[in-house]
Structure 1
């Protein structure tokens, strides 16, 4: 992937942001990516799947033969476009609109997926929010609560609701972040939730190992998604991703294949692990 020139004047006023408003538009999947039925007939429930990394996951999984139940908040245009892209791959995409902070909604999302497709093979917890603040004293209690209730609580809700439908060789994949490992002075609460996701992944993997259900995670670095213009602007936006060894932000298309690997038989001897896709930043763990 080539470096991108970010229009630093763009700004979005609400999260999680709209992909159709971004300049440049994120790359969802490489034209050269060829599916090989790695996920043929698999049923996947994906949160935050309307845009960014989630959209890339949905399209890659569809190219590999999976049908998608796609959970989104209120990004109608992005969600419909992702649905169209999944259908263009010859697969089904079932849109589920709602707020994952509500446990009952998460339960309903799982049940509606079962009603629509008859089974469930993979849960991908991906949705997230962030509210940058340079000083812990400036973190609003409301934003702190929203960050935790969006970024980690639904991981529990979804798995609790879905676990009775999952069987041996099925998978759970969680989206954490490089900030869980190196920290972030301006995303203290967000980084804390991402650290919790790492611990959740490791602990849940041990809990479900005897059932043959594998649990892994992906820790992206700076990826060009709607969350970025929705939370940064000006010079911060222009500098985004340029401080990693590869010198540029990543594209969603560079992250999606990692989820394919973790959901497929190719990773059959992997559980409790985190894949680091961060432009070359060396971190522990």
Structure 2
């Protein structure tokens, strides 16, 4: 794996029209895994609906960068701003997508809110409520709003996370563990209710990428951490896989794109490392 190459933000990924004609909604698409999910979808021929935080959240510039990546691939992009933790806004996202494109084929729930607390006695109730509102309630609201428009063969991809380790590697971020568990359980339960409709529901757990929620841990010894932006780019093909027909027999699963991390091991317990000079 290497750093992002100049001139091609998708690291030479070759599209083959796997998603041609499809419409994909991606929340939290202003940076990180969300941005590159949208960009990879575009390289495969899909139009993107990029959903980011409301005005004043500092997400608009990133949304425009994502839009530029999508348009560069020759497909359409609609940018919508608002609070995905608000069910009314989620309804409006779906309405706008249907009005603009007439269909929804893929829903990626990637929005996330950090609440970096490792000590339960320091937990702020309001911050925790905000984390749950963005990290799990938004997924429920978006799925509920999109459901009537999803046809057989459609795909829902919910972004979870590994229980994020602290710099010392011995303490979990409490909100990350709690909301990630909720996302995984919700995704598997929704899969069970979606089977008869032919709609697939899976989750993805990206590793430490360049977002407000996750930052790459420090390198150790003669190893170095894979560049966080490259890690975000590298997760894009995984989203393409779950969005397209190649995964038509896969649902109710959690795909770990965390550089060797695994549930129970955390980020510190499963870093994707590469030798210096390799």
TM-score, normalising length: structure 2: 0.84
User: How many residues end up aligned between the 2 structures?
Assistant: 253
The partner residue of 2:171 within 185, 188, 208 is 185
Q: 1:121 to 1:57 in 2, by over 3 A?
A: same
**Gaps in structure 2 of 5+ consecutive residues:** 266-278
On the 8 A contact 2:120/2:174 being kept in 1, the answer is: yes
* Aligned-partner Cα distance in 1 for 2:43–2:226: 27
What is the aligned partner in structure 2 of residue 277 from structure 1? Answer: 257
* Aligned-partner Cα distance in 2 for 1:284–1:148: 21
RMSD, matched Cα:
2.6
What is the aligned partner in structure 1 of residue 203 from structure 2? Answer: 217
Q: 1:241 to 1:53 in 2, by over 3 A?
A: farther
The partner residue of 2:241 within 261, 265, 270 is 261
Q: 1:184 to 1:67 in 2, by over 3 A?
A: farther
Q: 1:249 to 1:140 in 2, by over 3 A?
A: farther
On the 8 A contact 1:135/1:186 being kept in 2, the answer is: no
On the 8 A contact 1:69/1:96 being kept in 2, the answer is: yes
Match status 1:252 vs 2:232 = yes
- Pairs within 5 Å for 1:196-235: 196-228=182-214
Matched residue SS, 2:187: helix
The partner residue of 2:32 within 46, 52, 59 is 52
On the 8 A contact 1:246/1:280 being kept in 2, the answer is: no
TM-score, normalising length: structure 1: 0.82
The partner residue of 2:154 within 170, 183, 188 is 170
The partner residue of 1:91 within 65, 75, 93 is 75
What is the aligned partner in structure 2 of residue 109 from structure 1? Answer: 93
Matched residue SS, 1:99: coil
1:227 shift after superposition = 3.5
1:185 shift after superposition = 2.9
Matched residue SS, 2:178: helix
* Aligned-partner Cα distance in 2 for 1:208–1:102: 24
Q: 1:60 to 1:184 in 2, by over 3 A?
A: farther
Cα deviation per residue 1:38-64 (whole Å; 9 max; x = unaligned)?
A: 100111111001111111001100000
* Aligned-partner Cα distance in 1 for 2:100–2:218: 40
Q: 1:278 to 1:228 in 2, by over 3 A?
A: closer
On the 8 A contact 1:249/1:279 being kept in 2, the answer is: no
- Pairs within 5 Å for 1:97-176: 97-176=81-160
Q: 1:191 to 1:282 in 2, by over 3 A?
A: closer
What is the aligned partner in structure 1 of residue 272 from structure 2? Answer: none
* Aligned-partner Cα distance in 1 for 2:136–2:182: 7
* Aligned-partner Cα distance in 1 for 2:69–2:186: 32
More relative contact order, 1 or 2 (CA 8 Å, 6+ apart)? 1
What is the aligned partner in structure 2 of residue 19 from structure 1? Answer: none
Matched residue SS, 2:201: strand
Cα deviation per residue 1:182-224 (whole Å; 9 max; x = unaligned)?
A: x983411222101110001110001000110000111112223
What is the aligned partner in structure 2 of residue 16 from structure 1? Answer: none
**Gaps in structure 1 of 5+ consecutive residues:** 5-24, 230-236
